Chain A
Amino acid sequence: MTFTKASYLIVGTLCTIGGAGVLYFSWKSKIQLKESFNVLGWSLLVAALFSWTGLNGWEFGTLYAITLPSLAALLYVSYNAELNGSSVAAPSFKPIKKPTGRQALSFIGKLLLILPFALTASIFVSYGVSILAVQSELNQLVMAICILPIIWGFFAYWLLADTRLVRPVASQIGLASLFVVQVLQV
């Protein structure tokens, strides 16, 4: 039993550090088989998931497989660090310019769009999506709460990034209305 646990631990560690290492090697070198090494690196990281699952069950295993490759990759990032001695002169200190009325209004407008507006739209959309996706009321609620921050984040990003504000605003109002109608019908 202990032997099996130890072997899972060793294989998991080797796959995680090795997988990130192979990705680093593939990134660093100008070899022809770059693609193959990339596949090998990611495969080792996936293999680590099975080892962690064997060691501590699939719930802990998945969490280890999500978090540990990040730390392993950052080890190689620090190993690859270059020291650059050059520095740039600091610009001079100036007083802060008072924002104009137009700038203040634009700021408040954006704030209202990405916070209350996008939140309301994303609540309707996430609940509507979850009603379409799952049957049980409990699971619908939990799925909605899990996807809500992602949908809200995406809506906020879209509102700020689109060059024509009307597109995200109209789309989000349209989507939210559609889902409200759908929820009311259910």
Chain B
Amino acid sequence: MGLPPSLVKQSLSSHSWIGLLVSVAMYIVCLTGTLCVFYPEFQRWEFANAPESLAYDRSSLQTALNNAIADEEMVTSHMYVYLPTEDRPILTMANERQDYLVTPDGTLGEPVESKWTDFLIDMHLYLTIPGTFGLILVSTLGAMLCALIISGLLAHPRIFKDAFKLRLGPGSRLEQVDIHNRLSVWGTPFYLLIAVTGAYFGLVLPLLGVVSVLTGKDPAQIRAGVFGEEPQVYSESQIDLETAFDNLQEIAPEAKPFRLIVHDAGTPQQFFEIMASHPRRVIYSENYRFDPEGNYLGKVGFSDGEVGRQIVYSMYYLHFGHFAGYVGKVIYFLLGLALTVVSVTGINIWLRKRSKRDLFNPLWAGIVWGVPLSLMIAMITSLILNFVSVPLFWASLVALLTYCVRVRDEIVGRRHLQRVSIVVGLLVVFIHLVKFGSGSLNPAAIMINACLLLYVGILALTVWQPWQAKSLVGQTSQA
């Protein structure tokens, strides 16, 4: 039994409308999200000469933390310690402004900065729009992705008949349709997971607002119900990390600590949480709380509390794929890339369906190839000048779009952007090697540089393949 043709037609029209509405934002969020899967590697690539080791001395760390808290210029309400993990084998300490290396003798070393990675994450979470509006806007894309999944499935009456069909052909609309439909249908469970978990981060705010109005409860009180209330502590003592770690070992021997947060640092109310991952669990962490003397105060209950609390604390790993080392990351990267291609081919299909070409054709080509190029330009400013500017990113993208519009031929525009991307990609690797020297040989830096070279290689193959059209003469357009 097939779907009624009128339903298919209406679903397709709804699918196109929503797809066009969110196209640019969806593409940027999908692309940056795919890259964010490897954000710890990008961070390590950015501070490649930081000494990497999984081992650290607890007593030196304790000294460093207590000295930082005693320093009036350094201390902020929350202080953070990032313990070395396999993802990020560096011991650092941070206040609310800056992250610093912790040296083996218990002093703070150089500031650790990963401006490009921070920018990438900011782009993915907020589209660089300040405040909660950006977060809500990006989360709205999660709901719109659900709408696209529903309308896409209902607009696809040959879903099973075409399940494995892939008709490739340069410039053909069928190619775009087949790539779009195959990647969409087979990736649906993953896309739905990403949509729901992605929407969570921003939509929780309006939901809390409505629940607060309806139930008359304070939003902070509702939030405390989910994330646990803070313990009441009064102590003049310094932080005793060693006792806390010993106690944790007894309470939860399977827990692997990876972060430490001191709340109300430097005040008599200060207490600290050791965030620890648990094997075989998707929860981000269980948070074990201690008073300054290292006495165990209790845990929040993300590992064994109410189901809702466990689900909330699983959202991060479910969305970013950091739950099972490189296996999870590679799966999420590939499927994230598939979703990015789906968002590009969807607009390509719409462009190809029309009986005309207009400014939208070169603009779309400019966005598809201009965003990764602008990201690489930001990499260069980050490496050379230690500076990544949001306005500069958008300005470079606008300049690239203007160029594509002036060329008026999307194939030529695309090809030129690809050629510039090849040069910029090689430049990024070259500058990294020159800047960090032997530091470029850390495993994460090798991986990122190799991926950049692979991207450059694929672009080179695309640009110089002889069977590709050189311009739109005798060809149809697509990004």
A66 at the interface (CB under 8 A from B): yes
Determine if B281 is an interface residue (Cβ-Cβ < 8 Å). Answer: yes
Chain B residues near A94 (CB, 8 Å)?
A: 356-358
Q: How far, in angstroms, from A57 to B254 measured CA to CA in the complex?
A: 15
User: Could you tell me which residues of chain B, from 401 to 415, have a CB within 8 Å of some CB in chain A?
Assistant: 408
Cα(A22)–Cα(B52), bound, Å: 46
| Residue A56, interface by CB 8 Å | yes
Residue from B144, B169, B207, B354 within 8 A of A148 (CB atoms): B207
The answer on a CB contact under 8 Å between A157 and B151 is yes
Residue B170 at the chain A interface, CB threshold 8 Å: yes
The size class of the interface chain B forms with chain A is 35 or more
Contact indicator B357/A157 (Cβ below 8 Å): no
Known interface pairs A27-B163, A119-B206, A138-B308; A67-B331 also in contact (CB < 8 Å): yes
Contacting pair B356 A160 (CB below 8 A)? no
Q: Which residue of B lies closest to A126 (CB)?
A: B207
- Asked whether B226 lies within 8 Å of A180 as measured between CB atoms, the reply is no
A interface, over-half SS: helix
B393 is an interface residue with CB less than 8 A from chain A: no
Report yes or no: B222 in contact with A141, Cβ–Cβ below 8 A: yes
The reply to whether A149 and B164 contact each other, CB–CB distance below 8 Å, is no
Question: What is the total number of residues of chain A having a CB less than 8 Å from a CB of chain B?
Answer: 75
What is the CA–CA distance of A28 and B163 in the complex, to the nearest angstrom?
10
CA distance A161 to B279 in the complex (A): 45
Closest A residue to B182 by beta carbon equals: A77
CA distance A114 to B22 in the complex (A): 12
**Complex-state Cα separation, A127 to B18, whole angstroms:** 25
Residues of B within 8 A of A124 (CB): 210
Cα distance, A38 to B414, chains bound together (Å): 42
Name B129-176 residues within 8 Å CB distance of A: 139-140, 142-151, 154, 160, 163-175
Find out whether the CB atom of A138 lies under 8 angstroms from the CB atom of B225: yes
Task: Give per-residue flags for B328-340: 1 if the beta carbon is below 8 A from chain A beta carbons, else 0.
Answer: 1001101100100
A-chain residues with CB within 8 Å of residue B139 when the two chains form the complex: 149
Contact A93 B169 (CB under 8 A): no
State the CA gap A137–B281 with chains docked (Å).
Answer: 24
Shortest A86–chain B CB gap in Å is: 6
Which 3 residue pairs spanning A and B have beta carbons closest together?
A153-B146, A57-B280, A142-B308
What 11 additional pairs, Cβ within 8 angstroms, besides A59-B281, A70-B189? A60-B280, A66-B190, A70-B338, A77-B164, A93-B357, A96-B358, A139-B308, A143-B308, A157-B11, A160-B13, A161-B154
